[in-house]
Amino acid sequence: MRPRSGLRAGPFFLFGEGKVIRKSVQGVYSATLLRKRLFAAFAAVAFLFLAVCTRFFYVQILSGERLRGLALGQWTREIPVTASRGDIVDASGVLLAGSAAAYAVYVRPNAVRDKPHTAAALAELFGLSEAELLTRLLTARVSEFALVRRADKEAVLRLEAYDLPGVYYARDDVRVYPFGSTLSRVIGFTSSDGVGLTGIEKYYDKYLRGQDGEIARPADLVGAEVEGDPAYYPAEDGLTVQLTVDCAIQAAAEGAMERVYAQYSPVSAQCIVLDPDTFDVLAMAESPSFDLNDVPRGDADLLADLSRNDLVSDIYEPGSTFKIVTAAANIEEHLRGNPNAFSLTHVFSGSRTRTVDGTTVRCWSSHENGRHANQTLAEALNNSCNPCFTDIALSLGTETFYDYLEKFRFGSVTGIDFSGEAQGMLLPESAVRACDLARIGFGQTVAVTALQLACAGASAVNGGYYYRPHLVRAILSDGGREEIGPDLLGRTVSEEASRILAGLLEGVVESGSGSRAYIEGYKVGGKTGTAQKFEGGALAQGKYVSSFLGFFPADDPQYLVLVIVDEPQGAYYGSVVAAPAAREVMQGIIDARGIRPYEG
């Protein structure tokens, strides 16, 4: 019978269709799940493969050299081949630091066959305790140890005659300084292992030290040598470092400082000589000094004090030598048409005092019947009159004057190739009061290094060019030389301002406070300085720094000499203490270089 409607047949039809749909969905789900599982398995395999490849790359490529070295080390015993440390020479090639042949003796306890015999032989050769050495050979838990360092060649030749298995020697040179205390604070010294610790030895260590080599001999796991050919890896000796320093000029500077030290018993007497055309350091001398061949390594405080290069690392108030900078700024601003700058014909008031913000500035010649009254800039330099330079600083103003201080690189390092350079102390421009500016004008309320002042003075008289100072001229190797040439950092003043200033400073030596630096037949310019020291925020009674900055020839400066004497006893004026010492140094340069007097 046919159904009268689809209502009865509907449930049966839908039910059957649902079974079909569910089966179809289950099939699709199963296929998707299978694909996911296959993808996961593939991803896991790919990850493992990538991890293995990465590990392979790390082991074979990145760590291959190190691992090969470790493997080689298990089956070889290395005898070091020590690189010879490079020499340090002066500008003319005179040896200042070199190496003398010496040797280190090593022992490998596991390779020693007859320990009692070896202990007895080594004790006799090197003056050691036989019993202690034998105990060490029997109980040592290290693969090898150094027996002696710095043994001489004769001892090593005797050692060779014994032919002791497990005992060998390698070069272990001794650093030698032929001139002892010459340039001790500049050259510096090395550690017992030949690593530069101070001075040029430290700064240029990467050039001087070279690269050690080795002889790798086949050995078993306990260190005993076995048959086989050794592998030889030669050492690369260090390079030679050539200084800008001239030994003859250095000798003149050191001799003068030693005499000043003996005469005035100061804390120290220091001298720096620059070539104004390049800022090459031609000499750096300080007394007292010490012998580089006998470094006091047992006294850490003494060693730190003696090895410090005060000319680069210490700061002080320069006093009247700083007036060179103030005068240079004034002359340059006058040439530029600045109405606040004083002309060369301007007459400063003869008053011996100025009062600024309640601070009184006095001239060193304080009596009304003293040596000067109203004066020009030239006369103010000759007389070293503080109030005149106070007037200049205040007239130029803080912004303009600080622009020049920045150009002369006060408050920042010069960039010399030497470690530990100080940057000096300069008040922030925003914090400067009128009384501070007044005092900076004549060299107080500002602290500089000797090197900073010498470079500033050189720039002021060389045409206004400021270079980076150098202690090293070249790096020498078998393949040639790498020159370190002049490095111009900027301009300070114009050539015209520089020429005028040099002429004024020549007058200071001819007829002013620097007359004790005068040398007949030579155009010498310069400026004296006498600064009272500050201690604990107050002036220290009876403690002065005497100085003189000089140069010659004044019309074409080739040499600049700065002498600083810290706390001289008795006389203390820079004109009396420092100027004659600078004259002695300049006379030494004239003699060493054979400089003829001018004609005219």
Q: Per-residue confidence at 15, pLDDT binned at 50, 70, 90?
A: very low
| DSSP state string for 389-441 | HHHHHHHH-HHHHHHHHHHTTTTS----SSTT----EE--GGG--HHHHHHHT
Render pLDDT for 408-435 as a digit per residue (tens, 0 to 9).
Answer: 999 999 999 999 999 999 999 999 999 9
How much of the chain exceeds pLDDT 90, in percent? 64
pLDDT at residue 47 above 80? yes
Least confident of 21-35, 192-206, 475-489, 584-598: 21-35
Least confident of 49-53, 157-161, 481-485: 49-53
Render pLDDT for 444-470 as a digit per residue (tens, 0 to 9).
Answer: 999 999 999 999 999 999 999 999 999
Render pLDDT for 334-356 as a digit per residue (tens, 0 to 9).
Answer: 999 999 999 999 999 877 678 88
Average pLDDT on 187-191 reads: 94
Find the helix packing angle between 495-511 and 450-461, rounded to 10°.
110
pLDDT at 219: 60
pLDDT at 46: 84
CB-CB contact of 579 with 548 (8 Å): yes
Helix (H, G, I), strand (E, B) or coil at 108: coil
Render pLDDT for 95-152 as a digit per residue (tens, 0 to 9).
Answer: 999 999 888 898 988 889 899 999 999 999 999 999 999 999 998 888 788 899 888 8
Q: Per-residue confidence at 533, pLDDT binned at 50, 70, 90?
A: confident
CA 172 – CA 539 distance, rounded (Å): 53
| CATH 3.40.50.300 is held by the domain 247-593 | no
Q: How far is CA 39 from the centre of its chain?
A: 63
Q: Per-residue confidence at 192, pLDDT binned at 50, 70, 90?
A: confident
The full set of domain ranges for the chain reads 78-243, 247-593
Q: How many CA atoms lie within 13 A of 450 on its CB side?
A: 30
Average pLDDT on 183-210 reads: 93
pLDDT at 68: 58
pLDDT at residue 4 above 70? no
Backbone angles phi, psi at 50, to 5 degrees: -65, -40
81, burial (CB in 10 Å: exposed 0-12, middle 13-18, buried 19+): middle
Least confident of 136-140, 279-283, 588-592: 136-140
320 is catalytic: yes
pLDDT at residue 198 above 60? yes
Q: Which CATH superfamily is domain 78-243 in?
A: Penicillin-binding protein 2a (Domain 2) (3.90.1310.10)
Render pLDDT for 225-273 as a digit per residue (tens, 0 to 9).
Answer: 556 666 667 888 999 999 999 999 999 999 999 999 999 999 999 999 9
pLDDT at 226: 56
pLDDT at residue 6 above 60? no
Active-site residue identified among 181, 289, 320, 498 = 320
Q: How many CA atoms lie within 13 A of 485 on its CB side?
A: 1
Backbone angles phi, psi at 52, to 5 degrees: -65, -45
Question: What single letter denotes the amino acid at residue 428?
Answer: P
pLDDT at 12: 40
pLDDT at residue 91 above 70? yes
CA 373 – CA 11 distance, rounded (Å): 132
Q: How far is CA 428 from the centre of its chain?
A: 26
pLDDT at 312: 97
pLDDT at 215: 67
pLDDT at 23: 56
pTM, entire model? 0.82
State the average pLDDT for the chain: 88
Helix (H, G, I), strand (E, B) or coil at 215: strand
